[in-house]
Chains A and B, each alone.
Chain A
């Protein structure tokens, strides 16, 4: 039931918004995993980022695509919580570490074991528009537990202009989505994080950067 509702929401609202009002410039689609288990690693500037990455997948695969988001953000209201965790299928993640609270990555583990595709934003926050923050180590723990799962780097640009942090109405801007060659667990936490960062940033330099004032 909720799966059908999600597909309906994408057909009626999300896809027209992302592909019609915003517009996508896709590059490197051949690297996108057809099916899970896989982890998509993207930079984060806007609420639209999650929707844009979800729109890359075929509708039939949509219900196996699970964004990972900060629990404290969308438990602010019950309506927001329903929208995120039920309609979009977001896996809530505890941002603050509580030693007694059990394994924070258990839900992610289950999703990967079920062959689903996770979307993670290792910067941890949307930050300043069109700027990238250092990656946090959580994604490395995920990779260490699943050394066989490909981690696909994605660079997003434009969503931060269309709907930056603090704004409510999206303004039409074409968003660039560049997908790169996947990597796997390298055996070392810091080296893996550095490698992921390097791959995402390499996509940014893939084409000449848009000039800035």
Chain B
């Protein structure tokens, strides 16, 4: 891939920073009319957005390898956060170590151009290596829970999230003028916009909770606004970043929005199960890594599947 990004990608990157400037400015302006806690929370959230966007865009600008490293590190941080909050036993240490090896396998395959093996290697690795590592501990009590807990982490944060890297690396496979960076931006911008609109619309006009027992903050109003935003944005961005135009671009956005919502709801249920509010403190204002990428680990493989079907 060229180090120089396609014009469409450059314009969208400029748009991202324009949005951040706008968000920072508007929070400064309305700050005194908001409740102090909300104003602090918003300012902190936006500051963290700046840092995340800066890292993400730098990785894209440096090139394909930097982007792959960025995604592998994100996978690692998410998996580490997850494995640190779930209930495990001291004897599960080896299995946890083995789970991290899956990250090397997933991103290594992509780095060395064997995308064809990505769908099979991590699942088979997890099916074989995790039970072997757990069996070595020799404890059968809660064996199924521990096996399922670690396996789901690998499935979601290495395999599922790893499809972002597949999109990045196989951009040319789907004949995108803007290359893999275009696909990645299309996905990440739609998913995060959907998330932000869901949060904002839910706070402003949200009344009917979708699943009050799982997450009282997720409302029908927020979801619909988020899906409309994702669909509209994807329809707009599609022709700039990808070969998708018209209804195909819009459908991509809808799939991304729905998968992101489901991912967030799943994460809420897990956190509620564990009795935690946030999964960590890595991203001030947002919570942990998992609170931010919960909209990506399902939408990345879902978008990839959609592309395979549409192609």
Contact = CB atoms under 8 A, between A and B. Distances in A.
Interface of A: 23, 25-26, 129-130, 158, 160-161, 164, 167, 169, 171-174, 208, 210-213
B146 to A, nearest CB: 7
A173 B282 CA distance: 14
A213 B280 contact: no
A211 B90 contact: no
A29 B78 CA distance: 24
Interface string B79-108: 011011101111001001100100000000
A171 B84 contact: no
Given A129-B90, A213-B145, A171 B275 contact: no
B173 interface: no
A174 B80 contact: yes
Contacts of B85: 174, 210
B131 to A, nearest CB: 17
B34 interface: no
B280 A174 contact: yes
B54 interface: no
A129 B92 CA distance: 13
B282 to A, nearest CB: 8
Contacts of A25: 280-281
Nearest to B273: A211
Q: Nearest 8 pairs between A and B by C-beta?
A: A174-B84, A208-B275, A213-B142, A211-B87, A129-B90, A213-B87, A171-B97, A172-B80
A161 B85 CA distance: 12
Contacts of B305: none
B302 to A, nearest CB: 28
B158 to A, nearest CB: 14
Contacts of B145: 213
Interface in B266-281: 274-276, 280-281
A83 to B, nearest CB: 24
26 contacts: A23-B282, A25-B280, A130-B90, A158-B84, A160-B90, A161-B84, A161-B90, A164-B90, A164-B93, A169-B97, A171-B97, A172-B80, A172-B83, A172-B96, A172-B100, A173-B80, A173-B96, A174-B80, A174-B81, A174-B84, A174-B85, A210-B87, A212-B87, A213-B89, A213-B141, A213-B145
A44 B199 CA distance: 41
Nearest to B77: A23
A164 B100 CA distance: 18
Nearest to B279: A174
A32 B82 CA distance: 28
A161 B100 CA distance: 15
- Which residue among A26, A167, A211, A212 has the maximum number of chain B CB atoms within 10 Å of its CB? A211
Given A23-B80, A173-B84, 10 more contacts: A23-B77, A23-B81, A164-B90, A171-B97, A172-B96, A174-B85, A208-B275, A208-B276, A212-B87, A213-B145
Contacts of B80: 23, 172-174
A126 to B, nearest CB: 13
Contacts of A26: 281
B236 to A, nearest CB: 38
Contacts of B141: 213
Nearest to B275: A208
A119 to B, nearest CB: 23
Interface string B251-285: 00000000000000000000000111000111000
Contacts of B146: 213
A211 B274 contact: yes
Contacts of A23: 77, 80-81, 84, 282
B90 to A, nearest CB: 5
Contacts of A160: 90
Contacts of B100: 171-172
B83 A173 contact: yes
